[in-house]
């Protein structure tokens, strides 16, 4: 970045850090965005005069509430929950709910902020939001999870609605939790409407929503390869996580002819040099989605694999890396290790999985690097399609939804190329591309509204 731009980013960030003390994840997400967008704003004074960046980094509102519930031993428990309604300039608030012990206001603000621009990239009319709780679903019975979800929804329902704010899943919130949340919402409101997405197929869910984030990530990766005359076919792929996003990223990679070598969870990673094929993925689905077990069981079952306790998979040489677990799971050093081992593409299934130092290393190296906002937008895109189907009171076929998902990912790729290509360079900077393309649509709407 040029010196003058660097100074402007630093000035902007020092104000933001002062206004939002103790929120490191939020600072990080805004900084990554500002590094792309501040130079663009400096060239377009209409945005600067309207203080668009300052306004965009301030959430519309945050609802914070207590969730009291009773565990199986009849003890009263209390958690904290939030809904960060970040920006509804281009549509009703939309974004997932996360249940994890490390959920804080800072984490949800970073997620809600990024969601605003991700949703803008999809081309669908969706604003940005995120919510969640520091509730830990691990080791809880189904009944405990149900009571927690019902209690949470008893407060949340008054703040959401099909034209106001439409939550969905994220870490720790899958089909089971969405069902409990939707069941309670419907009961409290006495209305059957699409206020949540990721619902079961029997009650308004969309085909391909479960698979959408992982599939979309691989479609985007294939779009990047195709753009330089290559393909994911025959490439080795390293994936982290073994949840919703990781499983379907692995499934689609295998389907397109790649060889998946790793998966992980918070206890460590497994490395299978023979490749994690469709049959082994079916085992992981059952392990994680039904039995809620740990990834080391994979290495007990398949002798070709080794388990590496407490480690992340980035030391394994691969052509393609897809971080699909959580934020800051690829450090600067790990990014450099991936590059030294010849990684050709990094496609982020998780939100903000790469530390800023790693982002800079990938961009500098000129590899195919797809930031989360672009690469994992397939999940929320199919959530948007679920909303459309609910509003129409009909369901589209698997082929129809999958085709729309592919088209949306291709159009996001095209926007990244438009905004991320520098004159005389063949290399696309997908970080700039995604940030600026996502920004422009939201900024135009905010300019049109005047001082709101
Ligand atoms: P899941 O809860 O289904 O899976 C999360 C996976 O990541 C698990 O394997 C989990 O391991 C691992 N993980 C979670 N937290 C940590 C941590 N602190 N350290 C190490 N491993 C961790 O969540 P999803 O697959 O839905 O989400 C994964 C990522 O993708 C998140 O960043 C999410 O925001 C993002 N995303 C999700 C979308 C969706 O539609 N679901 C859409 C777009 C992005 P363990 O079981 O041990 O905790
Ligand atoms: O981070 C994300 O995009 C999601 N967790 C999905 C949000 C949604 O509304 O489907």
Residue 103 CB less than 6 A away from ligand 1 = no
In angstroms, the CA 103 to CA 193 distance is: 28
Half-sphere exposure of 72 (CA within 13 A, CB side): 8
The ligand with the least distance to the CA atom of 25 is: 1
What average pLDDT does the segment 361-370 reach? 98
Residue 426's pLDDT band (cuts 50, 70, 90):
confident
Residue 294 Cα to ligand 1 midpoint, Å, equals 14
> 67 - beta bridge partners?
79
Residue 242 CB less than 6 A away from ligand 1 = yes
3-state helix, strand, coil in the chain (%, to 5): 50, 15, 30
Q: Name the residue of 379, 382, 405, 412 whose CB sits within 8 Å of the most ligand 2 atoms, as the mutation to test its pocket.
A: 379
3, pLDDT greater than 80: no
Q: What pLDDT does 279 receive?
A: 97
Name every residue whose Cβ is closer than 8 Å to that of residue 316 and which is 6 or more positions away in sequence: 238, 261, 262, 271, 341
Rounded to two decimals, the pTM is 0.98
Whole-number average pLDDT of the chain: 97
In angstroms, the CA 330 to CA 326 distance is: 9
Can you say whether the dihedral through the CA atoms of 202, 203, 207, 210 is positive or negative?
negative
What average pLDDT does the segment 345-364 reach? 98
C-alpha pair distances (Å), 66 with each of 148, 163, 164, 274: 11, 25, 22, 48
Read off the tokens for 119.
Answer: 């949703």
Half-sphere exposure of 277 (CA within 13 A, CB side): 4
Q: Which helix (H) or strand (E) holds 216?
A: helix 209-227
Q: Domains of the chain, with CATH numbers?
A: 1-55+428-452 (1.10.285.10), 61-191 (3.40.50.10860), 212-370 (3.40.50.720)
Q: What pLDDT does 423 receive?
A: 76
In angstroms, the CA 62 to CA 50 distance is: 23
DSSP structure string for 389-437: HHHHT----HHHHHHHHHHHHHHHHHHHHHHHBPTT---B-HHHHHHHH
Name every residue whose Cβ is closer than 8 Å to that of residue 29 and which is 6 or more positions away in sequence: 110, 113, 114, 352
Residue 424's pLDDT band (cuts 50, 70, 90):
confident
| Ligand 2 atom nearest to CA at 166 | 9
1, pLDDT greater than 80: no
| Ligand 1 atom nearest to CA at 173 | 2
The ligand with the least distance to the CA atom of 284 is: 1
What average pLDDT does the segment 40-56 reach? 95
Residue 190's pLDDT band (cuts 50, 70, 90):
very high
| Ligand 1 atom nearest to CA at 312 | 20
DSSP letter for 354, please.
B
Residue 299 Cα to ligand 2 midpoint, Å, equals 31
Residue 7's pLDDT band (cuts 50, 70, 90):
confident
In angstroms, the CA 327 to CA 90 distance is: 26
Residue 92 CB less than 6 A away from ligand 1 = no
Residue 102's pLDDT band (cuts 50, 70, 90):
very high
Nearest to 239 by CA among 200, 212, 269: 269
C-alpha pair distances (Å), 22 with each of 10, 27, 179, 184, 433: 18, 9, 34, 34, 29
DSSP letter for 293, please.
-
User: Model confidence over 108-151: pLDDT tens digits?
Assistant: 999 999 999 999 999 999 999 999 999 999 999 999 999 999 99
Q: What pLDDT does 66 receive?
A: 98
Can you say whether the dihedral through the CA atoms of 127, 431, 57, 19 is positive or negative?
positive
Residue 167 CB less than 6 A away from ligand 1 = no
β-strand pairing of 76-87 with 128-133: antiparallel
Q: Are 201 and 179 in contact (CB under 8 A)?
A: no
304, pLDDT greater than 90: yes
In angstroms, the CA 370 to CA 434 distance is: 9
Name every residue whose Cβ is closer than 8 Å to that of residue 23 and which is 6 or more positions away in sequence: 104, 105, 106, 109, 110
Residues with CB under 6 A from ligand 2: 94-96, 115, 118, 168, 170, 197, 351, 379-380, 383
Indicate which residues carry an active-site annotation: 130
| Ligand 1 atom nearest to CA at 376 | 43
Q: Are 96 and 169 in contact (CB under 8 A)?
A: yes
In angstroms, the CA 272 to CA 418 distance is: 38
Residue 158 Cα to ligand 1 midpoint, Å, equals 28
Residue 44 Cα to ligand 2 midpoint, Å, equals 31
What average pLDDT does the segment 375-381 reach? 99
Residue 136 CB less than 6 A away from ligand 1 = no
Strand, helix or coil for residue 302: coil
In angstroms, the CA 397 to CA 399 distance is: 5
Q: What pLDDT does 425 receive?
A: 81
């Amino acid at each position: 970045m040029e010196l003058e731009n660097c100074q402007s980013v630093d000035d902007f960030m020092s104000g933001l850090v002062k206004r939002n003390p103790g929120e490191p994840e939020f600072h990080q997400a805004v900084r990554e965005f500002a590094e792309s967008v501040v130079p663009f704003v400096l060239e377009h004074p209409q945005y600067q005069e309207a203080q668009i960046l300052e306004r965009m980094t301030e959430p519309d509102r945050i609802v914070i509430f207590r969730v009291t519930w009773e565990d199986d031993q009849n003890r009263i428990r209390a958690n904290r929950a939030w809904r960060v309604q970040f920006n509804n300039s281009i549509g009703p608030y939309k974004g997932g709910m996360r249940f994890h012990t490390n959920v804080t206001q800072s984490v949800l603000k970073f997620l809600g902020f990024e969601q605003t621009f991700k949703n803008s990239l999809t081309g669908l009319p969706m604003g940005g939001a995120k919510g969640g709780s520091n509730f830990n679903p691990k080791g809880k019975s189904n009944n405990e999870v149900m009571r927690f979800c019902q209690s949470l929804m008893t407060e949340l329902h008054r703040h959401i609605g099909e034209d106001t704010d439409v939550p969905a899943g994220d870490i720790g919130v899958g089909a089971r939790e969405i069902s409990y949340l939707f069941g309670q919402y419907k009961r409290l409101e006495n209305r059957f409407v699409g206020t949540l997405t990721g619902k079961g197929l029997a009650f308004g869910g969309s085909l391909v929503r479960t698979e959408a984030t992982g599939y979309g990530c691989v479609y985007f990766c294939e779009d990047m390869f195709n753009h330089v005359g290559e393909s994911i076919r025959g490439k080795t792929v390293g994936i982290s996580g073994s949840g919703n996003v990781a499983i379907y990223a692995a499934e689609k990679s295998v389907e397109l002819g790649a060889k998946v070598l790793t998966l992980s969870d918070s206890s460590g990673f497994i490395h299978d040099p023979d490749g994690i094929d469709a049959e082994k993925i079916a085992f992981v689905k059952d392990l994680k989605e039904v039995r809620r077990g740990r990834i080391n069981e994979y290495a007990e079952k398949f002798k070709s694999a080794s388990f590496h306790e407490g480690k992340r998979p980035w030391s394994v040489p691969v052509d393609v890396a897809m971080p699909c677990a959580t934020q800051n799971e690829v450090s600067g050093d790990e990014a450099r290790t991936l590059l030294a081992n010849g990684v050709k593409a990094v496609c982020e299934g998780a939100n903000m999985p790469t530390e800023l130092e790693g982002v800079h290393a990938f961009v500098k190296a000129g590899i195919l690097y797809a930031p989360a906002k672009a690469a994992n937008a397939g999940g929320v895109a199919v959530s948007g399609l679920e909303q459309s189907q609910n509003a129409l009171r009909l369901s589209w076929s698997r082929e129809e939804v999958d085709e729309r998902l592919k088209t949306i990912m291709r159009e996001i790729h095209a926007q990244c190329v438009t905004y991320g290509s520098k004159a005389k360079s063949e290399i696309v900077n997908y970080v700039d591309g995604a940030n600026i393309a996502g920004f422009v649509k939201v900024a135009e709407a905010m300019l049109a509204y005047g001082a709101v």
